[in-house]
Structure 1
Amino acid sequence: MPTFLKKSLQWAQAFKTFIYLNPNEIPYSHEPFLHVLAVGEKRQISSENSNKTEGKTSFDKLYNFWNSQSQIKNPYIFGYFNYDLKNELENLSSNNLDNLGFPEFYFFEPKYLLFFDTKGNLLIDKTKQENNFENEILSQLIIEIEEIKLESKLIYNSKLKPKINCRFTEEEYLQTVEIIKNHIIEGDVYELNLCIEFFIKKLELNPLEAYQELCKISKMPFSSFLKITVNGNEKYALCASPERFLKKTGTKLISQPIKGTVRRGKTEAEDEENKNYLRTSEKERAENMMIVDLVRNDLARSSEIGSTHVSEMFGIYTFQQVHQMISTVEATLHKDKNWSEAIKNAFPMGSMTGAPKIKATELIEKYEKTKRGLYSGSIGYISPDGNFDFNVVIRTLFYDVLSKYASFQVGGAITFDSDPKSEWEECLLKAKAIRSLFE
């Protein structure tokens, strides 16, 4: 990471709000995340302060926020959608344990926008253009950041290794998988994404150091680093996501759901063997296909008739820790729909629920022990021209500064063919990168 980028992230820490979107130099189909740091708030909207307008969802309110009240017509806005916004869209609820308290949605128009190239070098021309910065303001900001002295801190302030706890014992998890398989046999669902929480209490975390280390051990194309402040309490999300939820470019909508995971091999031969297993596994392909069908239906709700199609099926993508099976669904946004309707009609993402979506979310609430909150929600941005890109918030460490509570969740798709023990091992594999920060 270039020195100026490191200093920029350290500078951003002094603000109450920032979002850093980081593609980690990873080439990706339809491009990875925009590389940008959005800092400070000109104005913001969240579930904490938005009007409870009758008949209006948070997605509608966000569109109105983007479309009005700014010095810049239709500015860049950055933020997230919490998984529990599902309750606005269907007759659902979320009553499980929540020790993090992230608002259900949070977006802001930033005071400062710094764009970087794929290598992490500041894009001065683009910064001037997109921000309407005066030359003097931009020059002064660069000087201010360059004068920062980089601090080197430990990831956590403790001589003892933090204790990582899990809401499920292995036995409880195995039993729950069997119960879900019975629901599948009964025809209630075809597939269900079951998640479990790992957590650390009384953790003195240094979020920036932890995020930078996470990027070293788990480089991902939809990584993000977020800080918000709610009622004076700072909350962080350190995200190493490999998955895109939804992107809009012009009238094109792109969703790239992940279903199918296998560990990297210890040797080149073993690595190829694992990739081939993933590529040919009937179980993994069936999981992927079910979610692709769900995503096609979700996108069709906002799209021109006949435009929804699968442009890549069962693609195998390789990352530092794992190989993933990823498919790509594309569609053309209907001329009578705006960008917020496209997001609303696809939310929450099918890869994190199961199929059929509504029944799966009901059973998720019944059998999981922790409220998902921002986990399996989505972080991203909307641009001035109404384009957007949002990830799936997985492989993410959440941290509440006041309570010193840290949490991360992992999960996997349960189908009729699922082996409970293998599903447990897959959860541990997905938790490996974040656990390694502390173990």
Structure 2
Amino acid sequence: MTRARFLTATAVALVIGVTGGTAATAQSTARTDAAQTPPSSDFPLPYDSRRGVFSFSTGLEGSLPAVVQVTTLGVSAGPSREGGVPAAVSSGSGVIIDAAEGIIITNNHVVADGQTYRVDLSDGRLLDAELIGSDQATDLAVLRIQATGLTQVEMVDSDTLRTGDLAFAVGYPLGLDQTLTMGVISGLNRSGMGDAVEDYIQTDAAVNSGNSGGPLLDSRGRLIGINTSILSGDFNGGNDGIAFAVPTRILMFVVNQLRTSGEVTRGRIGATLGSLTAERAVELGLGFVRGAIVEDVTPGSPADRAGLRRGDIITRVQSRAAANAGSVQATIGIAPPGTPLTIVYQRDGQEATASLNVEVPFDEGVQIGSSAIQAFGASFAQVAEGAQVQAVEGGSVAAAAGLSAGDIVTAIGRRPVGSLADLGRLLGGRGPLVLTVTREDGEAEVTLTP
């Protein structure tokens, strides 16, 4: 809250400073001007000379009708309703990106566990929606509605964004009607919320419950991302000025695949990655904490053929710095099969470069190495208590099951796991596999469904 108030106060000071010596002149001459004049050195912010105010309304108003409310209907945990009518189980926002086809982007967690879906348009129309597909790793989903007179949002390449750009979040938060909030882009290429496919835009525009799936727009009303999550110190999930959005460079890769086939196929290089944390950096004697550790390499894979080894620290992929495993997987995951990649890494304190081509997904079966096991998108290593999960690949079977780096597998189907050999043997079983794991918060069961 303190940070948000400071930014608001700064914005007010900026307006006062800009208008202090020109307000009287502007009021005397602006009555006959058009509603909005282009920004200039005299007015660095858009200025509505007819009303004598600064405003971004002209750039934003055309996009607001494309923002919708999404209600997911399913089986309620409460008393059943008469006639078997599904109850509302969640509500969020969405944005129309293709008016002709009625295509809407929202979050996967908004539509999860739904039976039917309802869309409320800003003009008051209430429509049924069809779920085209969803992707848990990026938390994106695509809906389709049948209607005429729809408005779609214009899109811009998120790679053109810069920290400090103005950003506007639009949605239906906390039971309110369509709401617009303003902030700045406070960070780019954010990751670290896990080892999934992450490369978020960070903003301080107010985002609350109900904003999920709504658009993050630039000052011209163009789509730059989909609001997905917030960091909050409030147990009720209140806004603390830090929100994250999936950038258009990732969402369009996902959306195009969902529209075409209903599912997402990601490129892979055959390396299981873990994030370089401060603890791991100290353990390895490194002088930096940004990067992705190669935990294991699949024999015969692109990573293997390019010479990558267990323990290498990836610092860049193409022209992108590697913040952690999530940011590397985000770049690899949206590269079509056959795409050449240049990877910069460190080994024994020396920097090296590897060139490889992305390939289609490999078999997520069990692959047993000399010091690690890869299975269903997770890498395991021996520890005293059993087998510890070193890393989990975003979008994999292991990720979908909720397996996390740091989990220690102590049993599978009530059979104890005391070694990697035990793990490899038991993971080869058929059907769903129930793993007993220990975590910081206690013991849990995770079901892998190959």
* Fold conserved between structures, TM > 0.5: no
Structure whose residues are more often helix by fraction: 1
Structure whose residues are more often strand by fraction: 2
Q: Which of the two has higher C-alpha Rg?
A: 2
TM-score range, shorter chain: under 0.3
Which structure carries more relative contact order (alpha carbon 8 Å, separation 6+)? 1
